Chain A
Amino acid sequence: MEQLAPLIAATLSAGTPLLLAGIGLVVNERSGVVNLGAEGMMLIAAVAGFAVGFATGSPAAGLIAGAVAGMLFSLIFSALAIGLVTNQYATGLALTLFGAGLSAFAGLSYVGKSVPFKTTFEIPLLADIPFFGAAFFKLHPMVYFALLLTAVVAWMLARTRLGLVIRAVGESPESAHAIGYSVRAIRVGAVAFGGACCGLAGVYLSLIYTPLWVEGMVAGRGWIALALTTFATWRPWRVALGAYLFGSVTMIQFALQAEGIEIASQLLSMMPYIATIVVLALISRNPAFIRLNMPASLGKPFHP
């Protein structure tokens, strides 16, 4: 049992960047836009946030800078894919490649540096509860923020007019245009939100989770977040489930490797991916449910 508490805490920390990015991408894709640039946006934000955090010594400034960097980077995508109606998939891929190169270049002088602030937190009183304190109440505030964000986005999509409009635009941009909504503006906004969330996820990695800057440190998490979004049928709480599931299997396989289990480590490293996809595919296999939640115009260009 004593071993379990840190494992739970590690799971929540490891799942947080996936959850942050995944929630942003849910909003992004609910508006009918696929942005495969998630990985690139996360990388750019990771290096930009690290640079600001390093220079100012303020983690808050670093986090904000990361979110802003992710959002600005997503505007490149919007200008091309929404403004000039280029192919969304190709544009997103280009953004990822561009982000990888640019972040490596910009981050050259930060390699090997570390940030001068603490990354451990605890909630007074609650952290002293046996077991639960160590498992749930000694985490970075961003972990709780990610959960709060999930709740807010789930509520926003299901219950508010804004959510309704975003879903409508993703469902049928022609109809939304016909009844008088600005499809482009709504989509640019949704993509910007996705960019900001991916940015937060990226800077969480470089300032809090690791915390240092290494080239390519996002290590495919942007792609996993994109896959999670789809396998979770664009439902925020299912994204959270998938993100933490991924985090837990990652941690379990680390634990197993540390125990010296006789399974090839390559096989163990595959487990988080397989487990997450199998579980989400199983809970989301009802066709009517997919039909109801999938944005029908996902990835299709819209000419006003």
Chain B
Amino acid sequence: MIEAPARLQLEGISKRYPGVLANDRVSLRVAPGEIHGLIGENGAGKSTLMKIVYGAARPDSGEIRWNGERVQIASPAQARRLGIGMVFQHFSLFDTLTVSENVALALPGHTDRTRLAIDIRAMGDRYGLPVDPEQHVYSLSVGERQRVEIIRCLLQQPSLLIMDEPTSVLTPQAVEKLFATLHRLSEEGVAILYISHKLEEVRTLCSRATVMRGGRVTGDCDPRAETVASLSRMMIGAEPPRATGTTRTAGDELLVVEGLDMPPLEPTGKTLRTISLSVRQGEIVGIAGVSGNGQNELLALISGEDPRAPTNSIRIGATGIGALPVTARRKLGLAFVPEERLGRGAVPAMGLDLNTLLTNDSGLTRHGLISTAATTRLAQNIIERFAVKAAGTAAPAKSLSGGNLQKFTVGREIVKDPRVFVVSQPTWGVDVGAASQIRQGIVALRDAGTAVLVVSEELEELFEICDALYVIANGRLSERIPVREATVERIGELMGGTRNTGDTLAAA
């Protein structure tokens, strides 16, 4: 079968960082027009391998062949000249620049902004990725930022496209569109290296897959011929446990939002229109929707970051909290985990022990002095209970991988036994193992009687753990839908709402 040289061939790539062998003699081959899956847990070495391919890191040994020729990829610029494009999981966008300026930066010689704006819209229409070229990136949601990343990459007309967890923030319909796009690109001869932890997705999309574990290749297979269970065994050595709880009857309404109308704080935010929802004791309620449809605005009002709501429009039990500050809400038993774990959920440069202290003050301070022993004990407790991989309780938050930090920030709230638990994107960019641990933690909390509100873009996750769902689209919330009666198609249609047709963009 091997007549033409591979688009990209890695042979025996090894890379050692102090204390860890991130890649151990990794070999991988991607043919032109092939959609090649790369799967593995966080810390399996996928990111390091991609950094090497993209020129952001140098391998200690091994060789890279590009179209059959041996190359040294010394820098991202060189990688792009070869024709390697990458869509990053942690976006490499510039917040204060507009979408078209961000795109222009990555396209050498493309300076006509009007022309570029047209190209961006055209690319967005073609691949179902609507964005407004004139908007500033800082006002965009995670999902919208990802669209910008993808469009920016496609406009460079790469011959190898690396995608790092691209579907985590898309509606099911948008995922289908993206897959159609990827198939079209692959028919045009573009090789695609697709990094994902969603095994089902890899099975539908990829014709070849490399599985990594602990820096090594543990499997090279045709994923269509495998099952999720067999792929999972190659990846983590076991099947992922599913989060299941006991059947229970929900209690009284604990978190209630009633008839909430609110213009956004940011000029580019979404206006919320008559939002009503309720979460009862001992149930998990999900809010589905593509990001940028008002989730952040609603969460800020519930968490207290934005205390402009009328007092009684948001209630915990019988207490109106709409105008209370964050700490007062926390004292009433509200715990909140924001979408951005680094920077908002945790202070990057501080140790885990001090980060524990940020949202948890009971018994950790005395007369304003920090009780080091108590904080360390609590941090240690969270680390053990949620199997957080960290170099001790003093390890800075930024030194943890995304999944581990997420386990920590979610765990930090769970150990407080809150009455109401609100969490945004609990498993965004987190591998299967960590995601299922986080979900189990949430389910256990529900079983203990907490009212849980989960905002997520991952439908599969919402269907797995929720008792009821709402869908948010364009600042409006749907009716409450019991999960038993919900179908992916119906929820997907509600998610699409008016937004995905692009009319809001045409008006902008």
Residues of A within 8 A of B (CB): 160-161, 164-165, 167-168, 171-172, 174-182, 288, 291-294, 296
Contact = CB atoms under 8 A, between A and B. Distances in A.
B365 interface: no
SS class, residues of chain B in contact with chain A: loop
Nearest to A161: B111
12 contacts: A160-B111, A164-B97, A164-B101, A164-B104, A168-B94, A172-B95, A174-B92, A175-B92, A178-B92, A182-B77, A291-B96, A292-B138
Interface string B101-141: 10011100001000000000000000000000000101000
4 residue pairs, one from A and one from B, having the closest CB atoms: A180-B77, A175-B92, A180-B76, A178-B92
Best-surrounded residue of B80, B104, B105 (most CB of chain A within 10 A): B105
B267 A288 contact: yes
Nearest to B77: A180
A161 B95 contact: no
A179 B97 contact: no
A161 B108 CA distance: 9
Interface residues of B, number: 24
A291 B138 contact: yes
B97 A168 contact: yes
Contact of B76 (A167, A168, A178, A292): A178
A17 to B, nearest CB: 30
B66 interface: no
A171 B102 CA distance: 11
B94 A181 contact: no
B56 interface: yes
Interface in B73-99: 75-80, 88, 91-97
A124 to B, nearest CB: 40
Contacts of A172: 92-95
B105 A179 contact: yes
Best-surrounded residue of B94, B97, B136 (most CB of chain A within 10 A): B94
A187 to B, nearest CB: 15
Contacts of B267: 288
Nearest to B94: A171
A154 to B, nearest CB: 16
Given A161-B104, A180-B80, A171 B92 contact: no
Nearest to A179: B106
Nearest to A177: B76
A172 B97 CA distance: 11
A175 B94 contact: yes
Contacts of B136: 292
Contact of A178 (B78, B88, B97, B138): B88
Contact of A175 (B75, B93, B101, B104): B93
Contact of A165 (B75, B80, B96, B105): B105
